[in-house]
Amino acid sequence: MIPGPNDELVFLPLGGSNEIGMNFNLYGYGPPDDRKWIVVDLGVTFGDLTTPGVEIILPDPTFIEAYAEDILGIVLTHAHEDHIGAVGWLWDRLRAPLYATPFTAFLVREKLREADLLSQVKIHEVPLGGTVQIGPFGIDLITITHSIPEPNGLAIRTPLGTVLHTGDWKIDPDPLLGGPTDVAAIRRLGDEGVLAMVCDSTNVFVDGFAGSEADVRKALFELIGGLKGRVAVGCFASNVARMDSVIRAAQANGRRVCLLGRSMHRMAAAARSVGLFGDIEPFVADTEAGSLPPDRVLYLCTGSQGEPRAALARIAEGTHPHVRLGQGDSCVFSSRVIPGNEIPIRNLQNKLADRGVRLYTERDHPGIHVSGHPCRGELAQMYQWARPRIAVPTHGERRHILEHLAFARDLQVPEGVAPRNGDMIRLAPGRAEIIDEAPAGRLFVDGNVLTPENDRPLRERRHVASNGALMVTVVLDGKGRLAASPQVRALGLPGDADYPLAEALDDLAEDAREAVEALKGGARDDDSAVQSAVARSLKRAAQRVWERRPAVETMVVRV
């Protein structure tokens, strides 16, 4: 294919650049007024203490939704939530066919089924190492290694050059499940010429290599072989190779394996769907595991990040219906602490320790976990194989992306761009540069409603969480006179022996009464005038009583 005179190749991340999570990348090809697009990955990120009640956060697709008929396909590199988690939420707004390898497709189908979309979505299942042509984009899947089955890099060929979109990767010489990184394919691509490499930045601050799942298997065999009593192991369910190692270590020591947590069961089913786990002994149900002798059972659990409703949290709380751990039992954390989860993990571990459970973590047993992302040694290796003209670091916070860009310069990569979500980068023709800015933002999944980031309800919830709330009822008669004393109720506000809460609320009711009575006759006919007068007066009063500013909600009832 010969490029047209005005054709451009652009890269536009709408998620995943300047953050680790919520990957949502776009490639556009064609003249500026008639681009065809492909989407690479459609993931979520997770809420934290600053987003009370919001657990799932999505990239805002508004910009590209306007060009939905020009989206030719959505290509998914691998099945981690930060790459596929938003498919069920956002597919309806993009409506393009999906491309994924079988393991990823299995999990995506489940998401679409839950979203009631399965019958509408065309899923092209692509074999590992396969090739697909999507409009002007010819895409080769390149097998890489990561921390989940079937991770793929993408060679995206266009008439203006080839982009190597690495996806999440590391160089694991022995990944246990699946093949090693297809170095030959990457070298061949390098020989043909790589215009740009869009690459994982997660571990750019870590020297050396991430390490192999095979070494973790050895360490887990050794550790689990020496344990007495009940053993629980926490790890990411999506790391099926890790699950496999734990299961085999248990079997080698005469322990039956009991899976605890929904995602453990889901991932086991996904693994079986692609022919994994064929030769392992059947799992034992949690209802039966308790009657096995303690050193004949191993629990493989969700919740290694301290997630409040996951299996490990319930065991630590003593609220799991079937599983108890105590003195003489062990809990192995075959996982790292994801930044932001330090406090819940510490709380979880303290509770387990308090039950007498012995803890084994990556900190004191460094061999029991390895990262799935490339460290500097691996990045250097990849740049050497692919030899791109342009480095485009993604999958990192700002500091990761800038450090990665500097590292690429040190490695003699001629050009580089450090994207922020919304930056439209022209990769060809000419020098790579940011040519436009697209609106990029986040959507919060608040209950069952999608809301803009930090919209009013969440701001109110944060305010109430730290300041409490007052509810006032004002009853007025037909002439605008108070028909009863105002009623004040408090949420989340304290009282003490010197000034009990009931007394404080009576005083506040008095303040409300004065505020209404101070209004001129006409203003009392206007609900909003009454509400704001009462709110003003109660905020002042609350300052006096509690030295804080609770939310004030005034109901005006007319009889």
Nearer to Zn ion, 8 or 168 (CB): 168
Nearer to Zn ion, 35 or 78 (CB): 78
Nearer to Zn ion, 237 or 493 (CB): 237
Other C-beta atoms closer than 10 Å to the C-beta of 194 total: 21
Instruction: Give, as one character, the DSSP assignment of residue 145.
Output: B
Minimum separation from the CB atom of position 277 to Zn ion (A): 21
Signed CA dihedral, 249, 252, 254, 257: sign only: positive
The CA distances from residue 216 to 362, 489, 529, 547, in Å, are 11, 57, 67, 55
Minimum separation from the CB atom of position 437 to Zn ion (A): 24
Answer for the pair 534, 527: CB distance below 8 angstroms, yes or no. no
Minimum separation from the CB atom of position 166 to Zn ion (A): 11
Minimum separation from the CB atom of position 23 to Zn ion (A): 6
Nearer to Zn ion, 235 or 470 (CB): 235
Residues facing residue 40 across a β-bridge: 25, 75
Q: Which residues of this protein are in contact with Zn ion, per CB under 5 A?
A: 80, 82, 168
Answer for the pair 541, 506: CB distance below 8 angstroms, yes or no. no
Minimum separation from the CB atom of position 78 to Zn ion (A): 6
Q: How many residues does the chain have?
A: 559
Nearer to Zn ion, 188 or 266 (CB): 266
Minimum separation from the CB atom of position 368 to Zn ion (A): 20
Which two tokens mark 480? Answer: 């605008």
In degrees and rounded to multiples of 5, residue 258 shows phi and psi of -120, 120
Query: What's the CA gap between 424 and 440, in Å, rounded?
Result: 11
Nearer to Zn ion, 41 or 446 (CB): 41
Nearer to Zn ion, 80 or 248 (CB): 80
Other C-beta atoms closer than 10 Å to the C-beta of 412 total: 8
* Distance, C-alpha 390 to centroid of its chain: 28
Sheet holding 194-200, edge to edge: 131-134, 137-143, 152-158, 161-165, 194-200, 388-394, 415-416
Minimum separation from the CB atom of position 15 to Zn ion (A): 11
Nearer to Zn ion, 236 or 444 (CB): 236
Nearer to Zn ion, 82 or 307 (CB): 82
Torsion angle of C-alpha atoms 211, 212, 214, 220, degrees rounded to 10: 50
Minimum separation from the CB atom of position 396 to Zn ion (A): 10
Nearest to 406 by CA among 437, 434, 379: 379
The residue with tokens 């309806």 is 92
Answer for the pair 243, 268: CB distance below 8 angstroms, yes or no. yes
What are the E-state strand segments in 77-188?
A: 98-100, 123-125, 131-134, 137-143, 152-158, 161-165
Minimum separation from the CB atom of position 264 to Zn ion (A): 18
Minimum separation from the CB atom of position 25 to Zn ion (A): 11
Nearer to Zn ion, 80 or 242 (CB): 80
Query: What's the CA gap between 96 and 72, in Å, rounded?
Result: 6
Query: What's the CA gap between 123 and 87, in Å, rounded?
Result: 12
